[in-house]
Every structure is written in C-alpha cells, then in structure tokens.
Structure 1
Amino acid sequence: MRVLVTGAGGTLGRAVLPRLRTDGFTVRAMSRRPRHDPAADWVVADLGTGAGLAGAVAGMDAVLHLASHAGGGARTHRVDVLGTRRLALAAAGAGVGHLLYVSIVGVDRVPVPYYRHKLAAEQVLAAGPVPWTVLRATQFPAFLDRLLRAVGRLGPVPGDPAVLAQPVDPHEVAVRLAERLGTGPLTGIEEYGGPQVLRFDEAVRAWRAARRSYRPLLPVRLPGRLGRELRAGGLTTSVTPTGRRTWAEYLADTYGGPDRR
C-alpha cells in the first residue's frame, strides 16, 4: 500500500515513518520545507495554501494526516480546517481510498481553542468525499514532561491536583495507525490512550522523583468548564486496547529514575 504521511517531521511522524516501512508500506513523507533523508521519499506541500498537494497525493492509496498547527488562532484554522479540506479534495481527485486523521482525545469535551479546530477538521473529513477514519490519541508523555518543566521553571509546579491525564507512547500510536491503515476506513472515530489514568499530583510526584527535584506542587484549582472537564477525565478514554508504556517507564528512560547514580 502506498501511503502519504503529512506532518511527517513531527513527533508522531518520526515514530510513524519507520513503523510503516517495517510493516511493508511504501511511504511518501510530506513537509512544508525540503528535507534530505535517503531513507524516505520526501515531497514539499503546504496545507495552508494548497501548494504542492496535488502532486503529493498523486498515486497514493491512503493518506495518514498528522500535520497540524497548534495554537488555535487564524493560522490553525487555515492549516487544520481549511488545509484538511484542501487535502481531502486533492485526495479525492487522485482516487485515494482512505484518509486517516490523527486527532486528540477530548476535542469534543475540553473547551480549548486548538481543540475546536481539531474537531472542525474531523467534521470536514466526515462530510468529505474520501472514505475516512479519525484516531484520537491521548497526550504524549514528552508533552506532559515539557509542560511540567515550563510551569515549574520559576520554582513550585502549579496545577490542579485532580486533573486527569493518560499519557500514551507515540511509537505505540504509530503501531495502531499502521494497523488501522491495513484494516481500511472505519468511517468513524477510534480512541487510543495510555495504560494508566493519572491524577496531576501523581504525575508530578513521579516526575519530581525521577528528576531528583524538590520543587513542591502548588495546588491551583482550575475554574469553570475547563477545570470541570479536565477533572472529569476529558483528556482520557476508557476504550481498549491501550498502549503499554507507562509514565514511570518514560521517566526512567528519560531521567534514569529516582535511584540513578
């Protein structure tokens, strides 16, 4: 099967490309800027303008759509929503049989501007001309790690202790995406999460221990609907199967764990 991967240079893309090749797919990788990689067939195309999309999808059996512009402003709308529509139309014109889009668990529940755009992109696919699948994944552990480092850079780590998270390893998501491509269009939404649902205070304690950090957690209750949804598990899923790599394993691999020397 010939597969175009948009956003191939991102965190998930770097996990997906070798997985697909290992599983026997013929892979074409897409980015906005030229890349030189002898292991991959890279093409240049821009979702924000549509430039290069027709050539990128030509001859492909499926498109794995990972590209996104985080933020939630005009650029996100142009890339995630309008760009997804451009991609779907180009794919239809090229006779592509499956458009698989990676979204985020909680886009339909958590009131964040970026999530509204991701949800709108899902709706574009559902109304579009190409058989489709949406796979919503929970947050990657590296994202949670970066978040904790950012909010704790000045001392205490502020956060709502009761917020729930479910980190999932991007390589395990890549495996699931390869399986979904092999299965064919779902014409629906599938969720995929990590093996554990953690409270924010639990995640912070493990993170501090792995880093040998003495920065305390500063409890801050998130107000309004956003706080309610996050405490109620808006970023988590009860759907199985799930990934296997835990937050503790990520921390041990990244920082060496609390007993490192």
Structure 2
Amino acid sequence: MNAKIFVTGGTGGLGSHTVPLLRAAGYDLRILSRSAREDTEGVEYVTGDLLAGENGANIDEALDGIETVLHLAGAQKGDDIATRNLAQAAARAGVRHIVYISVIGADKVPVGWLRMKAAAEKAIEESGVPYTILRAAQFHDLTLKAVRTMAKLPVVPNPGGLRFQPVDARDVAARLVELVAGPPAGLVPDIAGPEVIAMGDLVRSYVKAAGKHRMLMPVRIPGKAGKAYRAGDNLTLDGALVASGSWTDFLAAHVG
C-alpha cells in the first residue's frame, strides 16, 4: 500500500476524476473539504479552509504524516493566498512533494485570474518543498459552460484571434496520478487537447449540437490581454503533452 496523500479539491470536478484513479492505484487519501463528510474506504475527510490561514484551517494537523500533497483546489479569487497557506504548512510538516495543477499561460497572459495562478505557482516554488507543477488547457466542461452561457445571447460576441486547446479533465487526472507516483520534477510539459479551436468555432459547434441558431458578432479584445490572446500566449503549440479526448467527442456525449 502506498503512503497516504493529502488532496485539496478532491470533491470538485477534476477531483471527481482524480480521486478514483488514486484509489485504484492503491493510495489512501486524506481529502480537505469545507464541509463535514463521512469517511469511506481508503478516504479520510478533514474539514478546513485554506483561506483561513494557519490558525483557522487546521492544516498543520491535517498534514501530519503526509509526504505528498496534490493541490487541485482553485477559485476565481484568493487562490494565490490559499496556495501560499498550504505551501507554508507543507513546509512546516516536512512534506516531500507538492503536485499542483495550474493553467497554460499563467506567466504570459495579463489578466487577473492567470496572474493569480502565477502567484500561486511562485508560492509553491518559494516554499522550499520539492514540487511538480502541471499547466493544463481549459477543461472541456468549463469550455462548455462558457459557450453555453454565451449562446443564451441573441447575438454572440466573437473575440477575434481568441483560441483554445480544450482538454478532457479525465486525461488531466490520469497525468496527475502519474506525476504523484514520480519524483518532484518542477515545471513539467503542459497538457492540452488535440485541437486548437477559435472561440467562434467553439460556439458554432455547440449551437449546432444543441440544435440552435445564433448570429456571431466580431469584437476585438482591447489592451495587453487582447494582444497576448491574439499572439496565442494562452496556448502551447510546441512541446505540450497532447491528450486524446477531443472537443467533438465531448460535445457528442454531453449535448443534444
């Protein structure tokens, strides 16, 4: 039996794919949750909030006896603070390996959410704990949520030059399990889907699959963020690990 792994975000979307794979690989897990949950075979739940800091989250106690941390939890705000709190607690606990899921373009695209992910990466790098960071493209389910919301409008804005490499969360989960099993490797090659798709084509494919019709209106993303997106700074066109799950297959399985 492998050593117990501490997992944040184990009850979320990516965690729902990753946790079963870890259990199948023989790992016992200690999963951080904001609300109380009943333990199951091989899975222990602890309650805490990483944003609460050292005194409010009981993280030091939760990390007792843990050698590996898999940090999957993320949020639109405060992810850098939560990650710093976790990394500092991991250093105090003598954790030997932090595996963190980040986002492609975190260090290149000047928008608030990606800057926060870059700050979270830096917090791990500066913690003194050996680490592995995997940057992933946007997950299929999050891409679907975005285009479904956009398609509610009678006329859908179509940002020129904006492209994505949507990736199946199951492929990302499988890669994370591989990284957990290996030694700390620093920043590893990104993982992306097999297709680079323009935002407009993502919307068109969704409305077609859903049996809808929408007009698209070209718009321009202003400023430095627009320049970065048009340059493809949110993409990894060379050197990425290319996952197998395609957007087309995902749509066929989830829409219609």
Query: So what's the TM-score if we normalise by structure 1?
Result: 0.90
Aligned residue runs from structure 1 range 153-192, under 5 A: 153-192=152-191
| Secondary structure at 1:133 match in 2 | strand
Tell me, in whole angstroms, the C-alpha distance in 2 between the residues paired with 1:203 and 1:68: 24
**What residue is the counterpart of 1:18 in the other structure?**
20
Tell me, in whole angstroms, the C-alpha distance in 2 between the residues paired with 1:189 and 1:118: 16
**What residue is the counterpart of 2:94 in the other structure?**
95
**What residue is the counterpart of 1:47 in the other structure?**
50
Identity %: 38
Tell me, in whole angstroms, the C-alpha distance in 1 between the residues paired with 2:166 and 2:5: 27
**What residue is the counterpart of 1:4 in the other structure?**
6
| Secondary structure at 1:99 match in 2 | strand
Tell me, in whole angstroms, the C-alpha distance in 2 between the residues paired with 1:94 and 1:119: 24
| Secondary structure at 1:49 match in 2 | helix
| Secondary structure at 1:102 match in 2 | strand
Tell me, in whole angstroms, the C-alpha distance in 2 between the residues paired with 1:30 and 1:247: 31
Matched, 1:61 2:67: yes
Aligned residue runs from structure 1 range 1-261, under 5 A: 1-36=3-38, 38-39=40-41, 40-50=43-53, 51-71=57-77, 76=78, 80-238=79-237, 239-256=239-256
- What do the CA deviations read for 1:157-181 (whole angstroms, capped 9, x no partner)? 2121421100011111010001011
1:66 counterpart letter in structure 2 = L
1:25 counterpart letter in structure 2 = Y
| Alignment length (residue pairs) | 249
| Secondary structure at 1:30 match in 2 | strand
- Asked if the contact 2:105/2:235 (under 8 Å) is kept, the reply is yes
- What do the CA deviations read for 1:134-176 (whole angstroms, capped 9, x no partner)? 1111101111111112223231221214211000111110100
Query: So what's the TM-score if we normalise by structure 2?
Result: 0.92
Tell me, in whole angstroms, the C-alpha distance in 2 between the residues paired with 1:231 and 1:3: 40
Tell me, in whole angstroms, the C-alpha distance in 2 between the residues paired with 1:189 and 1:117: 19
Once superposed, what is the RMSD of the aligned Cα atoms? 1.6
Range that drifts further, 188-197 or 206-215: 188-197
Tell me, in whole angstroms, the C-alpha distance in 2 between the residues paired with 1:158 and 1:28: 43
Give the Å deviation of 1:93: 2.4
Tell me, in whole angstroms, the C-alpha distance in 1 between the residues paired with 2:132 and 2:212: 42
**What residue is the counterpart of 1:259 in the other structure?**
none
Spell out structure 1 runs of 4+ moving beyond 6 A: none
Tell me, in whole angstroms, the C-alpha distance in 2 between the residues paired with 1:38 and 1:162: 47
Give the Å deviation of 1:35: 2.1
What stretches of structure 1 of length at least 5 have no aligned partner? 257-261
Give the Å deviation of 1:25: 1.7
Give the Å deviation of 1:49: 1.2
Give the Å deviation of 1:201: 2.0
- Asked if the contact 1:84/1:121 (under 8 Å) is kept, the reply is yes
What stretches of structure 2 of length at least 5 have no aligned partner? none
Range that drifts further, 234-243 or 47-56: 234-243
